[in-house]
Every structure is written in structure tokens, then in C-alpha cells.
């Protein structure tokens, strides 16, 4: 585990709802991201994936667990050290327009990390900003524009440029394409993939769409109701999903391609109904309310622990882990996906 860019152990984040009811948004999640690795985190809205990312950057406080970010234990950092560390772990946000200060121009926004961390003089800064704009495909004449004058795709490019200008070790992308038009999504995803390859940056890539994650990630984690239910290398996860929830998600993304109807039925069976409320989570396995394989004992009593599936011998980061009592007995879905990106 040495040299990990981000290492999260048993993270627990609790919040209070608006009427003061406490609930657990992230419940004992662990994950590791190595240098230059892209970790895709998927799950439904409200499953705690954004909270996990924010807690990992200490933008939100966490109640227990350990986070090592770029080799530093977050619990040991004081405010000053934390601010210095943030230069190396920027974030790209879901709402591109909202994440840009409307009173600043593009040049100032992209150059802000340099200014905040005093990394370059005024002249130097402008040159670096222009260089960065070219890298992310922003026309030079946009330098003096305000965010409202840009298109959604351009706004997100500004967000990406701002994140990458300080040569970070880890970039957290919180659903960076969810708010964009479908036609723009591919451009932004390709840009991110291209930058990842060129800059050797690690990414924590959050999405609620498995298809988006599939193209970009080395490893994928699936979250459900505050817990990590399955985690595996990307090909492995798509070829051999073990958790019934993952099986449903994987079946869902390609139902349009082949065997449409069959797949839809599979999705229906594996992920029927609605996600339960975090305020009132079921006892035992979080997924039991929707799972076709759930049994009274142990599923409705004991929370399943993450178990290592075959492939563990390949080494730590190749492991395939699943948190399900019955994973060994569950039949593989009739139609698995061909591996590949």
C-alpha cells in the first residue's frame, strides 16, 4: 500500500438531515488508488459517492476511518498543511457553470491555484494559463471572458484546466459530464482520457453511469446505500460481475445493443424497485430489499463483509472484491459482456 495516491480505510461519514435526524452517508468504505490509476466510482444518486470523495479531500468532516492522501494522513494535517496539500488534489465539479466564480474571467479562474499557492509570478502565470487553455482545447481569445459567456462544454474545460494547472497527483472528478449535453460528453470524456494518458495523473472518477466509467477507468467500485458492494478491475467487473446489483447495472448499460428485451428483464429482476432511504436503512445487507437472491438468514441480519474473489493472487490492485453473502452461489447472468473498452 505504499505509494498509494489515495488510501481510504473504513471511512464513516454521518450527517444530519434537515429535521435533525442523523444518518450515515458513507458506511465503512475502503479503497485504494495508485499513482496514475483511474478509479471509477459508480452508484445511484444519494449512495454516498460524492460524500466519499469530499471526505477524502476533507471538504467534509468524517466520523471515523483513516484517509491517506498523497502520502499524508488527513488526521495529522493542520489547516495550513491541508491547504498546501490541496494544490496536489484538485476537484472537478458536476455543475460546470456553478463551479466558476461569475465575477472572474477565465484567465483568473484558471490561474487562481497558481496565485493562491504563489507558484508563479504575474507574467509567468498568464503564460501558464494560456498554455493550459491550449491543452484543454480552449481558444485563446476566451481568456478575458466571463463564465456565463461560455458554453457548458467550455465551462467544464475551464474547470479541468484549473484542476490540472498545478500538476496534481490526484484529480477528483465528481460527475464531470452529468450536467452536459450528450453530444458534449464524449468530447469531455475523450479530453480527460487523453490528459490522463499524457499527464500521468490519478483520477477518482465519480459517475452514476457505468458506461461513462467504463471508458476511462482502470478499476471500478460500485457503491450502494453508503457501502461499497463490489470493486474490481474494469474488464473483470464487466465480464464477471458478482454482486446482483452490479449485474443489474452492467446489464442495464447495454440493453439497447443486443438481446434488448432479455436484458431489460434481467435488469428488472436484479434491480427492481427503489433505493431505500438512508434515514431508515434495512438491517443486514443494504441491498436485500431489491435483491432476488436475498434470504432471511444471513442477508436480513448480518452486513456482508467484502470478500476477495478469484484473481487475488495477481496482487493487491488486481483483486476483485464483493460484499454479498451469496456471491459464490449466484449464477452468472445469461448474457455477460465481452471484455474490452
Partner 1 sequence: MATGAETAARAEPAAGRSRRSWRGHGWWVFAAFLVLMAAWAAVPELFMPFDSDRLNPLRRLLSPLAVSDDGRHLAGTDSLGRDLFSQMIRGTRLTLYIAVVATTIGAAVGVLVGMLAGYFGGLPDRLLMRLGEAQTAMPMFLVAILLLSMLGPSVVILIVVLPTLVWPIFARVVRAETLQVREATYIEAAVATGCTVPAVLFTHVLPNVVPRILVLYVVEIGHVMLAEAGLSFLGVGVQPPDVTWGLLIADGRPLLTVAWWLTILPGVLLGVVVLSLNMLSRRFEQYAGAAA
Q: What is the 3-state secondary structure (H, E, C) of 154-209?
A: HHHHHHHHHHHCCCCCEEEEECCCCCCCHHHHHHHHHHHHHHHHHHCCEEEEEECC
Taking the least distance from each CB to partner 1, the nearer of 103 and 261 is: 103
Q: Please give the Cα distance from 165 to 150 (Å, whole number).
A: 20
Q: What number of other Cβ atoms are within 10 A of residue 56's Cβ? A: 28
**CA neighbours within 13 Å on the CB side: how many for 49?**
27
Least separation in angstroms between residue 218's CB and partner 1 is 24
Taking the least distance from each CB to partner 1, the nearer of 43 and 113 is: 113
Least separation in angstroms between residue 51's CB and partner 1 is 13
Give the length of the chain: 341
Q: Please give the Cα distance from 92 to 173 (Å, whole number).
A: 5
Cis amide leading into 298 (omega within 30): yes
Q: Please give the Cα distance from 157 to 132 (Å, whole number).
A: 10
Q: Please give the Cα distance from 194 to 285 (Å, whole number).
A: 39
Least separation in angstroms between residue 98's CB and partner 1 is 4
Taking the least distance from each CB to partner 1, the nearer of 85 and 250 is: 85
Least separation in angstroms between residue 115's CB and partner 1 is 9
Least separation in angstroms between residue 228's CB and partner 1 is 23
Taking the least distance from each CB to partner 1, the nearer of 59 and 211 is: 59
Least separation in angstroms between residue 148's CB and partner 1 is 10
And the C-alpha cell for 264? 431489460
User: Phi and psi for 53 in degrees, rounded to 5?
Assistant: -65, -40
- Run of H or E including 128: helix 122-135
Least separation in angstroms between residue 178's CB and partner 1 is 13
Least separation in angstroms between residue 89's CB and partner 1 is 8
Taking the least distance from each CB to partner 1, the nearer of 41 and 267 is: 41
Residue with cell 491543452: 135
Taking the least distance from each CB to partner 1, the nearer of 93 and 245 is: 93
Q: Please give the Cα distance from 338 to 341 (Å, whole number).
A: 9
DSSP 3-state of 279: coil
Taking the least distance from each CB to partner 1, the nearer of 102 and 331 is: 102
Q: Please give the Cα distance from 58 to 209 (Å, whole number).
A: 25
Residues that bind partner 1 (CB under 8 A): 57, 59, 83-87, 90-91, 93-95, 98-104, 112-113, 116-117, 159, 162
Beta-ladder partners of 309: 320
Taking the least distance from each CB to partner 1, the nearer of 27 and 155 is: 155
Amino acid at each position: 500500500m505504499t505509494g498509494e495516491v489515495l488510501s481510504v480505510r473504513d471511512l464513516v461519514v454521518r450527517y444530519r438531515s434537515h429535521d435533525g435526524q442523523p444518518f450515515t452517508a458513507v458506511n465503512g468504505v475502503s479503497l485504494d488508488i495508485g499513482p496514475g490509476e483511474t478509479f471509477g466510482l459508480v452508484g445511484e444518486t444519494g449512495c454516498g459517492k460524492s460524500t466519499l470523495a469530499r471526505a477524502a479531500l476533507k471538504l467534509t468532516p468524517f466520523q471515523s476511518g483513516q484517509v491517506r492522501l498523497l502520502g499524508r494522513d488527513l488526521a495529522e494535517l493542520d489547516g495550513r498543511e491541508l491547504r498546501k496539500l490541496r494544490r496536489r488534489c484538485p476537484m472537478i465539479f458536476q455543475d460546470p457553470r456553478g463551479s466558476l466564480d461569475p465575477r472572474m474571467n477565465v484567465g483568473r479562474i484558471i490561474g487562481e491555484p497558481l496565485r493562491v499557492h504563489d507558484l508563479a509570478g504575474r507574467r509567468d502565470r498568464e503564460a501558464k494559463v494560456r498554455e493550459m487553455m491550449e491543452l484543454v482545447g480552449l481558444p485563446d481569445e476566451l481568456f478575458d471572458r466571463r463564465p456565463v459567456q461560455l458554453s457548458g462544454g467550455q465551462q467544464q474545460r475551464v474547470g479541468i484546466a484549473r484542476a490540472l494547472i498545478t500538476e496534481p497527483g490526484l484529480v477528483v472528478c465528481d460527475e464531470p459530464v452529468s450536467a452536459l449535453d450528450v453530444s458534449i460528453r464524449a468530447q469531455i470524456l475523450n479530453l480527460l482520457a487523453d490528459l490522463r494518458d499524457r499527464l500521468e495523473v490519478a483520477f477518482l472518477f465519480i459517475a452514476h453511469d457505468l458506461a461513462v466509467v467504463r471508458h476511462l477507468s482502470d478499476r471500478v467500485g460500485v457503491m450502494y446505500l453508503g457501502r461499497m458492494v463490489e470493486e474490481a478491475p474494469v474488464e473483470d467487473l464487466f465480464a464477471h460481475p458478482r454482486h446482483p446489483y452490479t449485474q443489474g447495472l452492467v446489464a442495464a448499460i447495454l440493453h439497447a445493443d443486443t438481446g434488448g428485451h432479455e436484458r431489460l428483464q434481467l435488469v428488472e429482476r436484479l434491480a427492481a424497485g427503489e433505493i431505500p432511504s438512508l434515514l431508515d436503512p434495512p438491517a443486514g445487507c443494504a441491498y436485500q430489499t431489491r435483491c432476488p437472491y436475498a434470504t432471511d438468514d444471513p442477508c436480513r441480519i448480518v452486513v456482508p463483509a467484502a470478500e476477495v474473489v478469484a484473481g487475488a493472487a495477481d496482487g493487491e490492485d488486481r483483486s476483485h472484491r464483493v460484499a454479498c453473502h451469496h456471491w459464490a452461489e449466484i449464477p452468472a447472468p445469461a448474457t455477460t459482456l465481452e471484455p474490452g473498452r
